[in-house]
Amino acid sequence: MTLQSAALARVQPSQTLAVTQKARELVRQGRDIVSLGAGEPDFDTPDSIKDAAIRAIREGKTKYTDPDGVPELKQAIVEKFGRENGLTYRPSQVHVAPGGKAVIYNALLATLSPGDEVIVEQPSYDRTLLLLARAGAERLGVPLQADGLQIEAVEELCDRRSPKLAHVIPNFHNPAGCTLSREKRHRLLELAADSGFAIFEDDPYALVHFGSEPPESMFANDAEGRVIYASSFSKTVSPGVRVGYLIGPVDVIAALAKRAGESYISPNMLAESIVWEMARSGSLARNIDFVTEALRGRRDALAAALDERIPEASFVLPQGGYFLWVDMPAEVDCVALLAASAEAGAPFVAGPDFMLEGGQSSFRLSFASVPAERVDEGVRRIAEALERVRAGAPAAR
> What are 261-313's pLDDT values in tens digits?
888 888 999 999 999 999 999 899 999 999 999 999 999 999 999 999 999 99
d(CA 271, CA 269): 6
Which CATH number covers residue 245?
3.40.640.10
User: Does 213 share its domain with 122?
Assistant: yes
Q: Are 218 and 187 in contact (CB under 8 A)?
A: no
Q: How many domains are there within the chain?
A: 2
Q: What is the pLDDT of residue 169?
A: 98
Positions of E strands within the chain: 94-97, 117-122, 138-145, 148-149, 163-168, 198-202, 227-232, 244-247, 323-327, 349-350, 362-366
The residue range of the domain holding 349 is 6-45+286-391
User: Does 243 share its domain with 364?
Assistant: no
User: Does 218 share its domain with 312?
Assistant: no
In a domain, 357, yes or no: yes
In a domain, 120, yes or no: yes
User: Does 340 share its domain with 215?
Assistant: no
Q: Average pLDDT in the 109-135 region?
A: 94
User: Does 306 share its domain with 344?
Assistant: yes
User: Does 101 share its domain with 131?
Assistant: yes
User: Does 248 share its domain with 386?
Assistant: no
Which residues lie below 8 Å from residue 275, measured CB to CB, with a gap of 6+? 52, 73, 233, 237, 241, 243, 284
d(CA 271, CA 65): 11
d(CA 92, CA 133): 29
Q: Exposed/middle/buried for 173, CB within 10 Å: 0-12, 13-18, 19+?
A: buried
Q: What is the pLDDT of residue 11?
A: 67
d(CA 153, CA 116): 19
What are phi and psi for residue 168, nearest 5 degrees? -135, 130
**What confidence tier does 84 reach under pLDDT thresholds 50, 70, 90?**
confident
User: Does 91 share its domain with 207?
Assistant: yes
Q: What is the pLDDT of residue 393?
A: 57
Q: What is the pLDDT of residue 396?
A: 52
User: Does 249 share its domain with 370?
Assistant: no
In a domain, 1, yes or no: no
Which of 261, 281, 301 marks a domain boundary? Answer: 281
In a domain, 396, yes or no: no
pLDDT(397) > 60: no
Task: Quote the mean pLDDT of the chain.
Answer: 91
In a domain, 52, yes or no: no
Which of 281, 297, 317 marks a domain boundary? Answer: 281
pLDDT(95) > 80: yes
In a domain, 99, yes or no: yes
User: Does 37 share its domain with 150?
Assistant: no
In a domain, 230, yes or no: yes
In a domain, 296, yes or no: yes
User: Does 104 share its domain with 171?
Assistant: yes
User: Does 67 share its domain with 147?
Assistant: yes
